Structure 1
Amino acid sequence: MSKFASVRRWAALPSLMMTLALAGCAALGMTGSGGAVPSQAAAPAPTPVARGPLVAAANPLAVEAGMEVLRRGGSAVDAAVAIQAVLGLVEPQSSGLGGGAFMMHYDASTGEVTAYDGRETAPAAASAELFFEDGRPLDFAAAVLSGRSTGAPGAVPMLALAQGEHGELPWSELFGAAERLAEEGFVVSPRLAGMIAGRFPQTSTPDARAYFTKADGERHQAGDVLRNPAYAETVRRIAEGGSEAFQTGAIAEAVVAAVRREPRPGALTLEDLAAYEPIERGALCRPYRIYVVCVPPPPSSGVAVLQLLAMAERTPAVLEGPDDADAWVAFAQLQRLMYADRDRYVGDPAFVGVPVQGLLDEDYVAERAALAPGLTGAAEPGAPPGGRFTAPDATAEPGGTSHFVVVDAEGNAVSMTTTVESIFGSGRMAAGFFLNNQLTDFSRNGEGANAPAPGKRPRSSMSPVLVLDREGRFIGAFGSPGGPSILAYNAKALIAVLDWGLPVQTAFDLPNLVARGDGFGADTERFSPELREALAARGVALAPNASETSGLHGAIWRNGRWDAGADDRREGVVATR
């Protein structure tokens, strides 16, 4: 049993049963705007019940580790533990043992949807001026590389909590693939090689140089075999001792030592690590047309995805499909409104009052959606019911994240987004893994809903999604990395699959369009010349997307089988047997 099994803190949100009752109205042909349900949104066949095995993740080695656990009778959460352990080794630029995560879980036996919060926490010694020096905020790169950027990691404790409640196999039997690959070595993938060779501040740190440099003085390249004995020893300790072996003892001591090194040592202590607790929260679920979409509540930004979908229900142009310029313009304008509200109001609910209900209030959503056609630049935040108008946000959110989905043989499902924040986190390593720079996800000017504070969790764009049918049965899971663009990527996938009726892989392959502020970032090369011209004529001048690329992974149950996909912008694959 996990030492966290007794930690149950439910968010003050509407019950899933009430949400499903509302969804029943949609099933009878009504939408949030009072219009008819479009034919593209025909419900996936609910019979037979959606079951696995299914794994979609960003690296084939991680996918195989998850499938191997499922073949042995493991649960979706068991497989998630194995997948994360391997991803932290073979995709260290994106996630790892030293980072945090949000997990959505569907229990097939009860129909319960649960959000697990493994977001990092600031040390007890943190202050609003965490990233100040000489009275001014630090340069962002300097803040990332400092010891101040690392919060108490939450991914391992969160997985231990979830596995203690939903695991079928012994915890100790879930780390074999990661240990073997670390000990014997794994082949460096092209994407990892590109990150190693990239001009990121983290690749110049002493730890990164030592890890990624071969005996001949050259950096590891694609096809090379990379060994990590320290990582093998770490996962052995965690397998034997559970989360306690990660939060205390030799691993914790190594983490604190790395954080306390110059330059700009951090204040994280052994006490901070030992005191970390993941949180089991009530899922935030809302009907969308004839579906129910579930996301984690704050400090995740899942509420922003639901707000955008609610506005989309009131915006007929969205339904015109991927070849229509008006649909893309409407999608972009709704994003501007969504991001303005998210940036102003979302933070750690233990420290600030996040107006979740107000942001999703029917009248407020209608009021915001009505502003979309007239926007000519960045949107201003609105005034949702219960919202307190705080100081403007000054959060910078770089990319360095991964997402995966799992469905087991019983129909239990996991949708999990996991991160070390920036590429290779802070660039500092301990016990064979990179440490997060998650605390730079706070507002660095020390103001607003997302200002730093002792023990506080920074706001996150991570928003893993579960989709239910009108009866409350699980039918889909989606999610993506991408820094703040996660919200746009997830919304694009959901609209493309649920509204436009596209196959999942086709939906993922669509161009991305991100509208936060007054610009439009996009996969410009994926838009046809004709569509680019039509968008420009409507005031949407596309520029190359400056944020992290998408890494969508997901699946939906259609016609008695899984329709699944893995974003071709990364190295992910899908396995179903």
Structure 2
Amino acid sequence: MRGYRLPHHRRVEEDLAPSRGTDMSGSALRRGRLLALLVMALTLVVALAVGASPAGAHGKGDGDGDKDDHGAVHPPDKQSVATGYGGAVTTLDPYATAAGLEVLEKGGNAVDAAIAASAMLGVTRPYDGSIGGGGFFLIYDAEEDEVASIDARETAPLATPPTVFLENGQPIPYDERRVSGLSQGVPGLVAGWELALEEYGTMPLHKLLQPARVVAERGFVVDAEYVDRTEDNLEIFRDFTSSTETFLVDGAAPEEGSIFRNPDLARTYKLISREGPDAFYEGEIAEAIVDTVQEPPVAEGATRNVRPGLMELEDLDDYEAKWREPTEVDYRDHTVFGMGPPSSGGTTVGEALNILEGYELSELPEHDVLHLLVEAEALAFADRGKYLGDPDFVDVPVEGLLSQEFADERRELILEPFAATEKPVPAGTPEGAPDDGVVLASAAASGSTMHLTTTDRWGNVVALTFTIEEIGGSGIAVDGYGFLLNNELTDFATDPGLANSPDGGKRPRSSISPTIVLDPDGEPFAAYGSPGGATIITTVLQVTVNLIDLDMALPDAIAAPRLNNLNSENTNFEASLPVAAQEALKAYGHNLPAPTEDPIGNVNGIEFLDDDGLLGAAEPTRFGGGSALVLEPWAD
């Protein structure tokens, strides 16, 4: 079983990090600072001579970005699959993929590329994730042959009481919780960038933010997904002066194919570039965030009941991204690493895989594999609902949940011969479970998020998933700074006394599931993740089974029809699920209502091939498809 270490906060400043060599054989994330400084100096000279090049201008392949007569940056052609060598980037958006690849071209590593890509997504996909929210990093260090993880999850302000979402003993309606200051957690993404760079980065933050800053300033081409997401939030955006001014054009969504600019976000990135993360957590940006939370900029004439929040400047100043132990399970001779609490992704995926370990899925017909997926998901989600929360506030029995003995016990509830169990199923009692009478909490399927995956020439890997929760977050932009604040605190249960109840300084439970899989020899096999609320977990689980049990290539594993069960009487499925499989599942007793209106998940990732080959893959069609690029493409 592959090991992992728990790196120390600010190890570089403590001079505890090993020296970073530059040979191609495995100097990995800890590369020489001298090389990075030389690259920076050369880049600065070129930038001063000809002007900073926008992201997309150096994308590999036939789809290089360019600029129009007004300076707007056009994206490279979107391709969902790319194969080659030397490094790869996959994201939901071609601008972001190109930004990450540009960093790899300039000598940066996988962490550097991930930060550049995530900053760009905050420009071109601002309703899914940005500096107004948080996320989780899963990092494979090729030199140390270890996996580490960073928790950059949002926190509740210290003044938050357990009853924050109750009025007169009743839950505040969800829409009113979401669009309010009460839902806005202290953002963590910028602190996550800082922590990752301190430990592993080779390029300074200001260089990594430059591609995104240029595109925010010069503009990008609006696609159909951007229009749809804006229109989904029109009523909310119109109720806030800051959101209207930032994201609407004459009070409406921008037109597809038009050029959209966000000069306020460009200025925000410039501030962070010049002053570092302190500008976000202590300086004028922090002040603007607190002002927005405490006094939401409601438009004149708006009738929405918008409750102010409880965030103070001290909450931002005290925020810390944290190193956490990744989860780890063995599955069919592979090692699967995921994100531990406060995310429920790694434990729930891991428990479900341990349950499925008892079946030879590769020898079963498709409908039986899908049946067992549904049953394992329901069992694992029952345990997720009862036990998962912020480990700094509740005792989460991670070791017990991920033990094979517990999975064997849970598997006994799956009926033989195959038939659907009655759902919801009750939670089990893993070793180490708290004896405090905590009751089950439901799993919400909704939510928006972004995932990206990077790797470099040294074999390092990053799987980063980040979010502002709902599509559009709280719907409230920070006035003059160009980004939306999250509504992550709605991930808390509304009632006190649960593992995932609100509390001051607490992080709400997440479903985010960045995943890195090592092969039987301990080398990277694949890395991937997805957005989608609680369905992130089931999507990642199904892709894992497709890869390992069904021997699919990553593009096929991503494209395959999906279904899921979150421990509910209904099993959700996509319309592309074959009718024969639907009928077989119904015959087993599963309740399959109408297909989901939206696709389930939006996966991207990287598969590691023989002879150092790389296969980058993203969704081919779901939500308009994703984007994959490699540093050195294979010849056609």
Tell me if both proteins adopt one fold, taking TM over 0.5 as the criterion: yes
Give the equivalent residue in structure 1 for 2:446: 398
Give the equivalent residue in structure 2 for 1:5: 10
Q: Which amino acid aligns with 2:244?
A: R
Q: Which amino acid aligns with 1:469?
A: D
Cα-Cα RMSD: 2.1
How far has the Cα of 1:51 moved from its partner?
6.7
* 1:566 maps to which of 615, 618, 622: 618
Contact 2:234 2:253 in 1 (8 A): no
How far has the Cα of 1:81 moved from its partner?
1.2
How far has the Cα of 1:234 moved from its partner?
0.4
Number of aligned residues: 532
Q: For residues 277-356 of structure 1, what are the structure 2 equivalents within 5 Å?
A: 277-301=320-344, 302-316=346-360, 318-320=361-363, 324-356=366-398
Structure 1 stretches of 4+ with a deviation exceeding 6 A read: none
Secondary structure (helix, strand or coil) at the match of 1:293 reads strand
Which deviates more, 361-370 or 528-537? Answer: 528-537
Q: For residues 86-97 of structure 1, what are the structure 2 equivalents within 5 Å?
A: 86-97=120-131
Contact 1:118 1:154 in 2 (8 A): yes
Give the equivalent residue in structure 2 for 1:428: 476
Is it true that 1:223 corresponds to 2:261 in the alignment? Answer: no
Q: For each residue in 1:19-66, what CA deviation from the matched residue of structure 2 results, as whole angstroms up to 9, or x when unmatched?
A: xxxxxxxxxxxxxxxxxxxxxxxxxxxxxxx97410000000000000
Larger Rg: 2
Contact 2:233 2:472 in 1 (8 A): no
Which runs of 5 or more residues in structure 1 are unaligned?
9-49
How far has the Cα of 1:241 moved from its partner?
1.7
Contact 1:337 1:372 in 2 (8 A): no
How many percent of aligned residue pairs carry the same amino acid? 35
Q: For each residue in 1:261-312, what CA deviation from the matched residue of structure 2 results, as whole angstroms up to 9, or x when unmatched?
A: 2421001111100110000122222211111011121111111111011111
Q: Which has the larger share of helix?
A: 1
* 1:276 maps to which of 307, 313, 319: 319
CA 320–198 in structure 1, closer or farther in 2 if over 3 Å, else same: farther
In 2, the alpha carbon distance for the partners of 1:394 and 1:331 equals 19
Secondary structure (helix, strand or coil) at the match of 1:525 reads coil
In 1, the alpha carbon distance for the partners of 2:321 and 2:12 equals 8
* 2:458 maps to which of 410, 414, 417: 410
CA 289–519 in structure 1, closer or farther in 2 if over 3 Å, else same: same
Q: For residues 50-69 of structure 1, what are the structure 2 equivalents within 5 Å?
A: 52-69=86-103
* 2:412 maps to which of 361, 370, 374: 370
* 1:265 maps to which of 301, 305, 308: 308
In 1, the alpha carbon distance for the partners of 2:582 and 2:462 equals 37
Q: Which amino acid aligns with 1:444?
A: T
Q: For each residue in 1:500-519, what CA deviation from the matched residue of structure 2 results, as whole angstroms up to 9, or x when unmatched?
A: 01111111111111111333
Contact 1:467 1:477 in 2 (8 A): yes
Q: Which amino acid aligns with 1:193?
A: V
CA 396–446 in structure 1, closer or farther in 2 if over 3 Å, else same: farther
In 1, the alpha carbon distance for the partners of 2:617 and 2:210 equals 27
Which runs of 5 or more residues in structure 2 are unaligned?
1-7, 14-83, 297-305, 632-636
How far has the Cα of 1:527 moved from its partner?
1.2
Give the equivalent residue in structure 2 for 1:212: 247
CA 308–395 in structure 1, closer or farther in 2 if over 3 Å, else same: closer
In 1, the alpha carbon distance for the partners of 2:236 and 2:412 equals 44
Secondary structure (helix, strand or coil) at the match of 1:541 reads coil
In 2, the alpha carbon distance for the partners of 1:264 and 1:109 equals 50
Give the equivalent residue in structure 2 for 1:501: 551
Q: Which amino acid aligns with 1:359?
A: L
In 1, the alpha carbon distance for the partners of 2:161 and 2:608 equals 47
Give the equivalent residue in structure 1 for 2:607: 556
In 2, the alpha carbon distance for the partners of 1:232 and 1:368 equals 51
In 1, the alpha carbon distance for the partners of 2:363 and 2:127 equals 38
Give the equivalent residue in structure 1 for 2:36: none
Q: Which amino acid aligns with 1:5?
A: R
Q: Which amino acid aligns with 1:508?
A: I
Q: Which amino acid aligns with 2:618?
A: A
How far has the Cα of 1:332 moved from its partner?
0.5
Q: For residues 50-129 of structure 1, what are the structure 2 equivalents within 5 Å?
A: 52-129=86-163
Is it true that 1:472 corresponds to 2:528 in the alignment? Answer: no
Q: For residues 185-264 of structure 1, what are the structure 2 equivalents within 5 Å?
A: 185-198=219-232, 202-206=236-240, 207-215=242-250, 217-262=251-296, 263-264=306-307
In 1, the alpha carbon distance for the partners of 2:390 and 2:233 equals 33
In 2, the alpha carbon distance for the partners of 1:61 and 1:198 equals 22
Give the equivalent residue in structure 2 for 1:183: 217
Contact 1:485 1:547 in 2 (8 A): no
Q: For each residue in 1:487-537, what CA deviation from the matched residue of structure 2 results, as whole angstroms up to 9, or x when unmatched?
A: 100000000011101111111111111111333443432112222222222
Contact 2:89 2:101 in 1 (8 A): yes
Q: Which amino acid aligns with 2:245?
A: A
How far has the Cα of 1:115 moved from its partner?
0.6
Give the equivalent residue in structure 1 for 2:42: none
How far has the Cα of 1:469 moved from its partner?
2.1
Give the equivalent residue in structure 1 for 2:577: 527
Contact 1:157 1:278 in 2 (8 A): yes
In 1, the alpha carbon distance for the partners of 2:238 and 2:272 equals 29
Is it true that 1:134 corresponds to 2:172 in the alignment? Answer: no
Secondary structure (helix, strand or coil) at the match of 1:526 reads coil
Which deviates more, 112-121 or 164-173? Answer: 164-173
In 1, the alpha carbon distance for the partners of 2:184 and 2:363 equals 45
Secondary structure (helix, strand or coil) at the match of 2:520 reads coil
